[in-house]
Structure 1
Amino acid sequence: MRVALLTEGARLPAQRADGWCERLVEGLPEHEFERYLLLPGAEPAGSGAGPGSGPRTLALGGPPRGGRGPGAVRRRHYAGAYEELVRALVLPRERAGFASGLHLLAELAQQDRSLPAFLASKHAHQVLERVWRSPGADTAAGQPLLRDVLVAGDLLEQCLRPLAAPWYGAGPGGLGGADLCHVVGGGPAALPALVAKRLHGVPFVLTEHGLHLREQYLGYRQAPYRWPVRALLLSFFRLLTVETYRQAALLTPGSSYDRDWQLRCGADPDRIRVVYRGTAAVDRPAAGPEPARPTLLWTGRLGPATDPELMLHAFARVRAEAPGARLLVRGPEEAAGYREHCAEVARRLRLGDSVVFEQAAGDRADGTVAVFSGRAGRAPGPLVGAMLSGRALVATDTGVTREVVGPTGLLVPPGDPAALAAACLALLGDEERRARLGAAGRLRAQERFAVEPGVAAFRDVYLELVSRWPAFPAAERRAGVLPRPFARPAEYWVSGAVSGAVSGAVRGVAAEAMAEAR
């Protein structure tokens, strides 16, 4: 089958999916994949790429592509659809208008390709300002200023660019000719799938490794915009997520923890399949012998979320019981100056040279015990890397940690240095237990996060989805016609380059089958 793979070149590490997508494509050679990539940068690149020559791309950053704006009559149509969308964003009682406004903008964009020019025009900004300042609008984040209208208008234009992408035909390379769409990451990457389903009836499956909406909420805390702008954009992402969950044929979160979040956002539990994100690192050898000096290894990005300060306070208690122990803090800074802040905490605790800070990144655990002290364990990757190293693990019981580690490590409450220190001391003092837990953790990670089970799961997901979806979705709209799964014959896919009588016979068989399907 033909699968359109829709991804976003994300600003956030948790949303990067390139390596995972490549493993999926390599693992399912029986299917024909076409990549559609949304780029966060300002450089438009390669949107005309054909099959086999790289992904089709669309730049979300920078100014919109040149083009004529709509005429007076069409402008009124655009303004009406855009107003319906904006009212859903700022008026709590009109949230239901989000989907209809979104789809109407998409239909208008496919007719004349004037959507980017309209959204960047003063007419769109006037609509946004009038609705945003109307009675009943949600202004809990503050009254919008004129500069807020201009900034929010530009950001909405960038978010809505996929509605006008040249991807929606039924011919070669068009989303209308795909059997299904596979959205990886959510957010704006789901917009083309929503349009393809609306215009052509193509079903789509959504895979999220780290929820897009949750990452947006975390990311906008540091965004350089005033609170009214942040509130408006978060409202857009929230309603887009709800609509995506409602329209997706299947949702495949990367963990049960993410599944619970999707349920809280209104997802249908009957359409959710948890598929763990596989990693090619499962085949790498375990770490070598333990270091001669007892060493606690803390890895991660140094920042408040990973809470290295908790580890330092716990290590002060460990050192009081085991003076020869050492703490190795490894990882890059998440916030500027945070490494020096942690070093100052270590000096205040009088830890001396028993604490070593390393810039090197990586998830390979080569200490005696691997320790994670984060306040919110959203990504399983660092835990899986430490488990694959074959080292015993101590972690705070947050987020996805319990689901990943299971009974192969010691879990402690977050924010409790005494409990963290006690767990570390228990493992440092028991070599046999360390070996047993380390081996069990490695086997658990290899079994749950291997590439092959994930690829096999999506082979089943694709088959399940297409088997209950008509091959010619337009038939659903004709009264008295029963849609037929797999109605598209194998000859349908034969290239038009086939010559002579074979070509004519193939076209005849395909035409008969298509007529019968109708």
Structure 2
Amino acid sequence: MTAEAVEAGPLAGAHDGDRPLRIALLTYKGNPFCGGQGVYVRHISRELARLGHSVEVIGSQPYPVLDEGEDLAGLRLTELASLDLYRQPDPFRTPKREEYRDWVDALEVATMWTGGFPEPLTFSLRARRLLAARRGAFDVVHDNQTLGYGLLGGPSAIGAPLVTTIHHPITVDRQLELDAADGWKRRASVRRWYAFTRMQKRVARRLPSVLTVSGSSEQEIVEHLGVRPERIRVVHIGADTDLWSPDPSVAEVPGRIVTTSSADVPLKGLIHLVEALAKLRTENPAAHLVVVGKRAEDGPVAQAIERYGLEDAVRFVKGISDAELVDLVRSAQVSCVPSLYEGFSLPAAEAMATGTALVATTGGAIPEVAGPDGETCLAVPPGDAGALAAALGRMLGDGELRARLGSAGRARVLERFTWARAAQGTAELYREAIARQGAGVRR
């Protein structure tokens, strides 16, 4: 037997069957309260563990939050510390001399000082070092959109076959922020910050196995990153349908619209929802908006709220528990996803799972999740505040429509978008990657 065959591990042969896998799940940002990547890691790791696999989540700050339980004995967290340069309350901080451990730390600080975002690269370098030191500990390495140079080189470099999740190309975010940038200085700043996307583009083209969450994202990955279509597999993610479920005991608040959004990320389209609310309130003064996300004290959204006199009609909530968040969505008459683009849209799936009626744009993969207009949601073009206001007004004014769309939306999620189904599809892709590596070693 060759050294390469030994390195390929016990699962490299053709007779893997349903043997439990040893999975390293990498995430450079893992907190589920800070964005979709953390939500993905939390739920996919839990469901993989419930299938009997051993899952070690390796993450940096803000660290992943993993579920616990008697059925999750195979799930654990390894903290791979960065310098945490963007932590609150002192983001963009300069570390003290004694905090530096090696050249990767120096690279992290230098990249920040020059206006770039270092974490995908520096996390990948630290992960490569850890994986090399623990060669043979894992059957497969699953990278959650780091796309850093450190993960190249195949099993000889990181000790196991690599599967990479790309939720959507970050080049889409970059272009939308450039389009929204005011003045050359702001555009130059956006370009510096997103310089890491050049690395991600180069890395993506060399990946043997890419997992993505929607057909829309698959097409974007081919067009924006140049990944060959035969290397990509779509595995839909979904909602925790036990948590996100209807509860008739939660009272519906008249006029309440709920959305999940970062205030001044152009991609999320919150500015258009605020403009729609201003139009809507001329006919429905009870209409009001609750935004799950951080309030921006300045910027386009804050200026729009002030300009339209909506200070008492828009409320931001942050740091609430899962149970409180679910009850908030249940209490709304309408849930809204106003995004210009989404690679999947977990907020849409979760709101639908509660039976709350949905108004959503057709940006990116949202129609794949939300379904046909008039059957499981009301759909509007992205960036169109007038169409958004009309759909919200129609939904708020028609209880029968809300009930019908809410019921159909939950049925759609139960049929297509659950984390258990996502874990099964992901594990199948792991086994394909392992078998492909084994075949390569034999050749």
**Shared fold, TM over 0.5:** yes
Q: Which residue of 1 aligns with 2:207?
A: 248
Q: In 1, Cα distance between the equivalents of 2:112 and 2:401?
A: 60
Query: Which of 432, 436, 442 does residue 468 from structure 1 map onto?
Result: 436
In the TM superposition, residue 259 of structure 1 has moved relative to its aligned partner by 1.4
Query: Partner of 1:82 in structure 2?
Result: none
Instruction: Give the aligned length.
Output: 377
- Structure-1 residue corresponding to 2:42: 19
Alignment equivalent of 2:413, drawn from 440, 445, 463: 445
Alignment of structure 1 residues 333-412 onto 2, 5 Å: 333-337=294-298, 341-347=303-309, 355=313, 357=315, 359=317, 362=325, 364-378=329-343, 380-407=345-372, 408-412=376-380
- Alignment partners' CA distance in 2, 1:229 and 1:270: 36
Bigger helix fraction:
1
Displacement after TM superposition at 1:204 (Å): 0.9
The answer to whether structure 1 residue 55 and structure 2 residue 19 are counterparts is no
d(CA) in 2 for partners of 1:52 and 1:301?
30
User: Residue 201 and residue 417 in structure 1: after superposition, are their counterparts in 2 closer, same or farther (change >3 A)?
Assistant: closer
Alignment identity in percent? 26
Name which of 198, 202, 205 aligns with 1:238.
198
Tell me which amino acid in the other structure corresponds to 1:367: A
1:410, distance to aligned residue in structure 2 (A) = 0.9
Displacement after TM superposition at 1:460 (Å) = 1.5
1:304-319 to structure 2, matched below 5 A, reads 304=264, 305=266, 306-319=268-281
CA distance in 2, matches of 1:381, 1:150: 34
The reply to whether residue 280 of structure 1 matches residue 218 of structure 2 is no
**Matched letter for residue 260 of structure 2:** G
> How far apart are residue 344 of structure 1 and its match?
2.3
Secondary structure of the structure 2 residue equivalent to 1:267: coil
Q: Which residue of 1 aligns with 2:8?
A: none
State which of 43, 51, 54 in structure 2 corresponds to 1:28.
51
Deviation at 1:389, TM superposition (A): 2.1
- Counterparts of 1:342 and 1:229, CA distance in 2: 24
Using the size of structure 1 for normalisation, the TM-score is 0.60
> Equivalent residue for 1:202?
160
- The CA deviation string for residues 206-254 of structure 1, in whole angstroms up to 9 with x for no partner, is 11334455557778989xx9987875674443234332x2333321112
Structure 1's 167 and 252: CA in aligned 2 closer, same or farther, altered over 3 A?
A: closer
- 1:19-62 alpha-carbon deviations (Å, 9 max, x no partner): 13431442331x33334334479xxxxxxxxx987426243555
Which structure is richer in relative contact order (CA contacts within 8 A, separation 6 or more)? 2
1:484-517 Cα offsets, whole Å, 9 max, x none, are xxxxxxxxxxxxxxxxxxxxxxxxxxxxxxxxxx
CA gap 1:152/1:417 in 2 versus in 1, 3 angstroms = closer
Distance 2:277 2:114 in 1: 47
Alignment CA distance shift 1:282-1:251 (3 Å): farther
| Structure 2 equivalent of residue 328 of structure 1 | 289
- Structure with higher Rg: it is 1
- Residue type of the alignment partner of 1:314: A
Q: Map of 1:140-155 to 2, 5 A cutoff?
A: 151=114
Post-superposition offset of 1:413? 2.0
When normalised by structure 2's length, the TM-score is 0.69
CA gap of 1:148–1:301, structure 2 versus 1, over 3 A, is closer
Q: Please name the residue that 1:270 is paired with.
A: 230
Alignment of 1:97-116 (within 5 A): 116=104
- Name the CA distance, whole Å, in 1 between partners of 2:237 and 2:362: 20
Instruction: Give the whole-Å Cα distance in 2 for the aligned partners of 1:9 and 1:289.
Output: 36
Q: Which runs of 5+ in 2 are unaligned?
A: 1-20, 64-73, 85-94
- 5+ residue gaps, structure 1: 42-50, 68-114, 121-146, 477-481, 484-518
- Could you say what secondary structure the match of 1:383 adopts? helix
Structure 1 counterpart of 2:272, one-letter code: L
- Kindly indicate whether the alpha-carbon contact (under 8 Å) linking 2:58 and 2:77 is maintained by their aligned counterparts in 1: no
* Structure 2 letter corresponding to 1:250: S
Say which SS state the counterpart of residue 467 (structure 1) adopts: helix
Q: Which residue of 2 aligns with 1:179?
A: 139
Q: Is the 8 A contact 1:314 1:418 kept in 2?
A: yes
Q: For 1:209, give the aligned amino acid.
A: H
